[in-house]
Structure 1
Amino acid sequence: MDLPFSCSAFLFSCFISLIIFSTVAFGATFTFVNKCEYTVWPGLLANAGSPRLDTTGFELPQDSTRSFTAPTGWSGRFWGRTGCTFPSSGPGSCRTGDCGSGETECNGSGAAPPATLAEFTLGGGGGGGGLDFYDVSLVDGYNLPMIVEASGGSGMCASTGCVTDLNRVCPAELRVKGGEACTSACEAFGSPEYCCSGAFNSPAACRPSVYSQMFKTVCPRSYSYAYDDPTSTFTCSAADYTITFCPSMPSQKSSKEPTPTATTTGSGATTITDASQSGSDPNMGGSSFGVTGSVPGSGSQEMMGDGSWLAGLAMGNSARVSCGTHFLYLNFLFLGFAALSLSRILGSPTFL
């Protein structure tokens, strides 16, 4: 027999509440992956008003990963430090991305430019309609390749970042650390037109410079200057994120990606020749990472898409089970979401 309307409506509301509880209350899981041929020391900085995560900096050896969970409403930035030494006898330092703490933990300090930055605001940060906002920024310069990929969320959820080695095409006047990093024109010259400051502190007044255009040509989805929002900020809802340093090129490419070349003319103008091959995604600076959309393999979509018992439970259409049996199903569902939430808090990818 059909379920009474009040029973099915109650069960449906409980089901929706469980989904909201599991995805909103615990924000997102950030997973850091190091595919560089050397150790990277990620730095983590929460914005003012956001809680500190489990760490503010750590060592990430080659081919290793580490994950953290951040609550909804959290905002901050991540970056990779390179060439670090932290001796037991005293303060240490990093060749690029140094936060000045003298130790592995950054303790609330940000990256010294130049550094490739991944920036996040989870759940909209007030007025965002529950969306996550994220970007990869080259405004403070560049020190190593990085991409951000969303998983398990809904919306466009595009991948973003820069996989091209900008250090190999960096103009001489922006090259620092012996070619290990490429600084911004603002940092190099300090003039208001490059820094979007003073009389240039508005989108109308501050326009892309030849240097920011160079960054944009090589890495079209990354922030290239302060007012580069329309093509560089991405959104997703209720997703987890993977931040990969030195991402490998897709296996389907037939040959190695040619390196773009930078040419400085006698007049001082810098031009970029982008030798990307066909079949690669120009938006990622030579990578084929693109819009991922919502993940079709998530459990809730599989169950509801194949007409299974969960879809019938949510819609109150099952004629073969009683209200009490549905409560039993709901109990198992609650335990599953509770286990998932606990695994995200503990940072254990193998809990379920």
Structure 2
Amino acid sequence: MDHLLSPLLFLLLMLSSGPNMYECARVFTIINYCKETIWPGITPGDNFNGGGFELKSGQSIVFQAPVGWSGRIWGRTGCKFDKNGSGTCQTADCGNTLKCKASGKTPASLAEFTLSAVDYYDVSLVDGFNLPISIKPINGQGNCGTCGCDSDLRESCPSELAVKGGNGKVVGCRSACDVFNTDQYCCRGTYGNPVICQPTFYSKKFKEACPTAYSYAYDDPTSIFTCSGADYVVSFCSPRNQTVCSYHDHKLVCSNKANGLNPWMGSWWSAMPVLLFIANFCIFF
């Protein structure tokens, strides 16, 4: 090959190659609606730019993950990284590195996935809260509801759970288990089953603010969702009923009225992971 294809031409060729290329993967569109820059962390992160990246306010990025991937996505705030990717974050730090190899430090709002013939997904506040986060499936079949937390618990966090930054502003809300470390709050020991471990004052506060997110360990009935054949939009700080878009079945699919946010916005580096992961992980027939 005498020269490299332009990113745009390469993308068009990939998207026109037929449906079989995409049968092994789920498309993840990650959107930052927050007013601040965030640094999403993902583990395992091989399919997601090595596990971490910067996402400015209003920016989005698209990845693909194969069926069989099981992991979590969260947002980090107040980060400073050098050119080598070393640094720290004010919340949800994953070990002083841009590309996470371990889970984020509590408190951290988590989007959790297990991709299989039937996908399982949820948003968990069991490890506390640092950013509003939601999951919306696109064009799936099954119990494909939108879940998560679009309320900002930093604004209503009980003082005994609050984590404050250097300016005194609340930057996170810890779980009662994390703060008090008792069997009752942590659902362990004699409380280590769903019959004995029941909602507490603190988990009820979380549940009131975020009805479709895990508020404690055994909060399954209203918090875990299943879906088949879907792609997923993970949004940070998304207003309720916010329009979201994702690339699905060779088309850009948006729910509700368009609101001017395009998942392909920004520079072409946002699209490049899609191309790389299609080439690496999809099965050709």
State the TM-score, normalized to the length of structure 2.
Answer: 0.75
Q: Distance in 1 between matches of 2:26 and 2:137?
A: 10
Q: Distance in 1 between matches of 2:92 and 2:279?
A: 28
1:345 to 258, 278, 284: 278
The structure with the largest alpha-carbon Rg is 1
Q: Distance in 1 between matches of 2:125 and 2:157?
A: 13
Q: Which runs of 5+ in 1 are unaligned?
A: 1-17, 124-129, 252-287, 290-294, 301-340, 348-352
Alpha-carbon deviation of 1:87? 3.1
Asked whether the equivalents of residues 139 and 231 of structure 2 are also in contact (C-alpha less than 8 Å), the reply is yes
Q: Could you report, residue by residue, the CA deviation over 1:46-101 in whole angstroms, capped at 9, with x for unpaired residues?
A: 2xxx965442111111111111111111100000000001135994110011111x
SS of the counterpart of 1:62?
A: coil
What pairs up with 1:200-239 in 2 under 5 angstroms? 200-239=191-230
Alpha-carbon deviation of 1:139? 0.3
Where does residue 185 of structure 2 map in the other structure? 194
The residue type equivalent to 2:228 in the other structure is S
Q: Distance in 1 between matches of 2:86 and 2:250?
A: 48
Q: Say whether 1:141 aligns with 2:128.
A: yes
Q: Could you report, residue by residue, the CA deviation over 1:14-71 in whole angstroms, capped at 9, with x for unpaired residues?
A: xxxx97x55542x20111101111101000012xxx9654421111111111111111
Structure with higher strand content = 2
Alpha-carbon deviation of 1:156? 2.9
Q: Percent identity?
A: 46
The residue type equivalent to 2:97 in the other structure is E
Asked whether the equivalents of residues 193 and 206 of structure 1 are also in contact (C-alpha less than 8 Å), the reply is yes
Where does residue 55 of structure 1 map in the other structure? 50
Q: Could you report, residue by residue, the CA deviation over 1:100-152 in whole angstroms, capped at 9, with x for unpaired residues?
A: 1x22111x1111000000000011xxxxxx21100000000000111111112
Where does residue 276 of structure 1 map in the other structure? none
Q: Could you report, residue by residue, the CA deviation over 1:154-173 in whole angstroms, capped at 9, with x for unpaired residues?
A: 22311111111111110010
Q: Distance in 1 between matches of 2:249 and 2:85?
A: 48
Where does residue 11 of structure 2 map in the other structure? none
Where does residue 115 of structure 1 map in the other structure? 108
Asked whether the equivalents of residues 65 and 277 of structure 2 are also in contact (C-alpha less than 8 Å), the reply is no
Alpha-carbon deviation of 1:345? 1.0
What pairs up with 1:248-287 in 2 under 5 angstroms? 248-250=239-241
Seen in structure 2, the aligned counterparts of structure 1 residues 149 and 53 have a Cα distance that, compared at 3 Å, is: same
Of structures 1 and 2, the one scoring higher in RCO (CA 8 A, sep 6+) is 2
SS of the counterpart of 2:81?
A: coil
Asked whether the equivalents of residues 96 and 114 of structure 1 are also in contact (C-alpha less than 8 Å), the reply is yes
SS of the counterpart of 1:230?
A: coil
SS of the counterpart of 2:151?
A: coil
Q: Distance in 2 between matches of 1:153 and 1:187?
A: 35
Where does residue 236 of structure 2 map in the other structure? 245
Number of corresponding residues: 235
Q: Say whether 1:105 aligns with 2:92.
A: no
TM-align CA RMSD? 2.8
Where does residue 8 of structure 2 map in the other structure? none
The residue type equivalent to 1:149 in the other structure is K
SS of the counterpart of 2:196?
A: coil
Q: Say whether 1:41 aligns with 2:20.
A: no
The residue type equivalent to 1:104 in the other structure is L
Q: Distance in 2 between matches of 1:22 and 1:207?
A: 46
Q: Which runs of 5+ in 2 are unaligned?
A: 1-17, 252-273, 281-285
Where does residue 31 of structure 1 map in the other structure? 29
SS of the counterpart of 1:120?
A: strand
Seen in structure 2, the aligned counterparts of structure 1 residues 90 and 250 have a Cα distance that, compared at 3 Å, is: closer
Alpha-carbon deviation of 1:190? 0.5
1:94 to 86, 89, 96: 89
Seen in structure 2, the aligned counterparts of structure 1 residues 156 and 54 have a Cα distance that, compared at 3 Å, is: same
2:143 to 146, 156, 159: 156
The residue type equivalent to 2:221 in the other structure is P
Seen in structure 2, the aligned counterparts of structure 1 residues 51 and 103 have a Cα distance that, compared at 3 Å, is: closer
The residue type equivalent to 1:34 in the other structure is N
SS of the counterpart of 1:173?
A: coil
State the TM-score, normalized to the length of structure 1.
Answer: 0.61
Q: Distance in 2 between matches of 1:110 and 1:185?
A: 19
Q: Distance in 1 between matches of 2:223 and 2:46?
A: 26
Seen in structure 2, the aligned counterparts of structure 1 residues 66 and 342 have a Cα distance that, compared at 3 Å, is: closer
